Structure 1
Amino acid sequence: MGAIDTTSRLVWQNINKHEPGNVSMAGFIRHSPGIGWDKMRVLGRYAVVYVHEGAGVYRDARGADLAVTAGDLLVVYPDVAHCYGPLPGQKWSEFYLVFEGAVFDAWRRSAALAPPRVRLHLEPVDFWLRRWLDVVAISRDPLQPMARLQMVLADALAAEHVAAAQTGDLAWLERAQRLLADAAHWRADMPAIADKVGLSYETFRKKFAALAGESPARYRMVQVIQHACRLLHEPGMSNADVAEACGFCDEFHFSRRFKQLMGVSPSGFRKMLPVRGATKKPA
């Protein structure tokens, strides 16, 4: 099986609406700048966006603020204002499908696919990218993509459920993630956080890594650095101020960890930001 051509291109378009549903558009966007940065977009239709390369964020009017990595599937709802894409210094490549119709409204009413479910993680990436692309494989019948899309959506939801059941307690993971993302715990050592969930540090570390796919220390650092990115947009805050606000002992250690995750120093990050008053991305 050959490599997938992921250059930016439209691979499917069907402007005719069909009952009970329709896949209206699909395509690749390589190194996308993102969507809705100036003003959150309301699409008016459903969409799924599979990020097959890079990283970034997803935010919406309901308050979601999610880190996104390769392998994440974003679900866009017709009436939920949103924005997503790479932060400065990051890249983001995606495959998207846009769809509408009563059959997908029924999925939403059943809560199988409804807010707050906006992100699923699906790996291996090549396998799932082919699954999504196969939805719009050449067909004489425009209704076939609608049927295929429901099959792949069902498989994706089942894969996520099985993964969660096999690897452990999802509710426990969500609690642990909330603790690690809480700025009040950024200066706390990991054994103290492990104690809050009733585990030894070593058991906590292994369980978290099995469920989340990364260590608790790295997960917390990602949350800290994303917060730092937001603070670096503030002209009244020096790099030293941001370092202190994010719990670092000094600016040197902050700058080193920031560059490890973002690929650029805090000062370099600031130079990449739009001038105040110009159109800009939120941080």
Structure 2
Amino acid sequence: MRKSLHKMGKIPDINNSILNIGLINGNIPSGRKTGQRRLSGDFIALMTEGEAYFSVLSEERYLVKSPVLIYVPDGMRHSYDPSPRLRWKNYWMLFDGKTARSSFGNILPPHPGIFKIKETDDIGKNWSELCTIKVSECQNSANYSFLLLHKILLGVHMLITGTELTYRPSRFDAVLQELENKADAHDIDLCALARRYGFNYDNFRKQFKAQTGTGPKQYFLRLKINNSKTLLLNTALNIKQIAEMTGFESQYYFSRIFKEKTGTSPSEFRCGKINEKML
């Protein structure tokens, strides 16, 4: 057993793989420092709106227009400053590049600098979800954050290299995708869903719990709660509007279920008073 573990190598420190993360959408924060800087960690940013000035080491600054990806390795001197003239939407992350390379292989950008890309919603969605997870610090958040980090870096790699993943999803993958697509519905007929994909419902429930760690009803509810968290943190919609958009029959019911599942009310969650529990 010891020999096998030795061959596997060092277990990655997933708890500290993501050092900091954020999303700037709209006005540039006041007091933001500009000019040359060095960061303790690999820096990656996805600018989907606006433009910025970027330089590496002592090179001349370049005007960069969205959509574009910026990558700077750990400790490299650089500058990355938004243009004040335009609205700016910028996903950014500081992460442990060594852990990412040892865990995910050669999927990080091949060199520091600017990568012109096609705009994509998938990476932005994963980035927003990762921001929510890191803020909430819920149980098992480190494992899920590490998974999202891999999805983001893999998506970035595919954008840069122009490659696509080709695979045929399983029946179960298709079920999960349909649940995600219908997470804004008030309810869903899980028996009919199972039959449509050729499952006996009893076997479907057992397989679902084995694959996801929870039952299909709780999984569907968790999708709703996660969607509501994203809206609470990233929009100015009121609680009633968010309840309607995420498929809850009333604001009261939404607030009650949200507090039951997370340990805090939607308003407190939005204000940062978070006490996350497992679903």
Alignment TM-score, normalising by the size of structure 2: 0.43
Q: Per residue, is there more helix in 1 or in 2?
A: 2
